[in-house]
Amino acid sequence: MPQILAAIFGLSLLVTLHEAGHYLFARVFGMRVLRFSIGFGPVLASYKPKNSPTVFQLCAIPLLAYVLVAGTNPAEEPDPNDPELYANKGLWPRIWVNLGGPLANYLTASLLVFGLALTGIRSEVPLSPMVVASVERGSPAAKAGLQEGDTIVEANGRPIKDVQELSEITGARGGEATQYVIERAGQRLPAITITPDTRQERGVIGVNARSDVKYERQPVWRAAVLAIETPFVLTMANLNGMADLIKRRSTEGVMGPVGMAKLVVKQADEGIYSYVWILVLISVALGYFNLLPLPGLDGGKLIFLAYELVTRRRADERVESIVHGVGLLMLVGVIALVTLRDVAG
């Protein structure tokens, strides 16, 4: 139960901070924010500060959040004389409001990385022999029947001492049938044939190795460097992974809210470092995902604003509304399908 509460808190915090980014930029540029909701569903509590137009509310299902800025509803005819409407603001204020959410996620990730670096950066030292710590769902290794605790002792006729040797052999054999010899519970099993997937031009079978974990505190300057570069490195890794999924026409590794919650619960059970680190990964994922140029996301809205920047005229509001509406429905559908898979798994 504590791990589940920690997962709910962590995910709620990240989506709330995302919306807080939109809220703060909207207020900085003088826009009227009507509602800041943490969660959705029945309202448990609400508060409207004196002389503030914003109702802050907490709802029963806390895994989502949203901010309602006046003038963002295309169904309403904006008052051209109301200076606090989103629709009446200049181009750059509207751009920054849409960037605010992803920027908040990246800032959160940077601050968490900075804190982790000051308290001790985790490093994993490979162990010998090559013992499987986990097997990726749907991977070639999983399909071949490999299990946690198995020891890989041979690959392609060569003995394996550790994960580096396994990676070296497997990496060169993407798409090629390869024989692996496994020991399980002290017994050597007959050789099995696995065809590694090709990911980012390297063969992988989808196993993680057991390792020895060490922590090393970093000086402030090094922590600051890591805080800046780590979100960038993680973003590039995410984009490369997404490109690989598109290339393979696969959805393995794509998670919905339930999948993320399960992952956070698992990491929370492993300790505070693992818990905070998974929040870093999810915060970066929220940041880059919302910047993708897809309808309904912040990145999709930025595409229309980029059109306005280039052409010096606004896109048709009705067309933009339809595009975002359709995109949002498609996105919700994908999330629903992934969530069903996560629940079933």
What is the distance between the alpha carbons of residues 114 and 224, in angstroms, rounded to a whole number?
Answer: 6
How far is Cα 199 from Cα 248, in angstroms, rounded to an integer?
9
CB 107 within 8 A of CB 115: no
How many angstroms separate the Cα of 267 from the Cα of each of 139, 211, 291, 338? 21, 16, 26, 21
Query: Three-class SS of residue 75?
Result: coil
* Length of the chain (residues): 345
Query: Is residue 19 flagged as an active site residue?
Result: yes
The residue behind tokens 């409001």 is 97
Contact partners, residue 234, CB within 8 Å, separation at least 6: 109, 280, 281, 284
Q: What is the DSSP string of 87-98?
A: GGS-HHHHHHHH
Does residue 187 contact residue 210 with C-beta atoms inside 8 Å? no
Residue 275 CB contacts under 8 Å (≥ 6 apart), including other chains: 6, 10, 264, 267, 268
CB-based contact 131:150 (threshold 8 Å): yes
The number of CA neighbours under 13 Å toward the Cβ of 189 is 17
Catalytic choice (19, 148, 154, 308): 19
3-state secondary structure of 298: helix
Residues marked active site are found at 19
